[in-house]
Amino acid sequence: MYLFSLIMAELINVYESDLTQEETFSTSPIVGILRYIEQNFATCTQASVAEQFHISQNYVSTLLKKHTGKTYIQTVQAQKLKYAASLLKNTDRPVTEIAGEAGYENVSFFYKKFQQQFGCSPGDYRERR
């Protein structure tokens, strides 16, 4: 019976924690911001995100840093690289084309960021699929 009480107490704590977290997200536009970035990563700017959510650019940065631990630029870069990695795995399109579609105008910069994120070149990443 004692073990059951401990388990129930832990479940209640987890539930209350989840509720608190949901309330935080529902009163903050962070979920919407993240979805917007996910859908518009190739072309969005911090200004366009701020305008979309009727908040200041600084507040966009503050919310992202608070809830994700990443800056605006890091968040967008991560989404671009995630998309590029998916294309590398699932298509045979040229790396330069993938870089452009992911929102990178400078292919050298794309290679550099991809190497930092995944520890290998885009070509090596594709071969590992």
**Average confidence (pLDDT) over 11-23:** 54
pLDDT at 15 over 90: no
**Residue 46 and residue 62 in contact, taking contact as beta carbons nearer than 8 Å:** no
Residues for the chain: how many in total? Answer: 129
Cα 79 to Cα 99: distance, rounded to the nearest angstrom: 12
pLDDT at 110 over 50: yes
3-state secondary structure of 105: coil
CA 93 to chain CA centroid, nearest Å = 24
pLDDT at 27 over 90: no
**Average confidence (pLDDT) over 76-96:** 97
pLDDT at 67 over 90: yes
Stated pTM of the model: 0.75
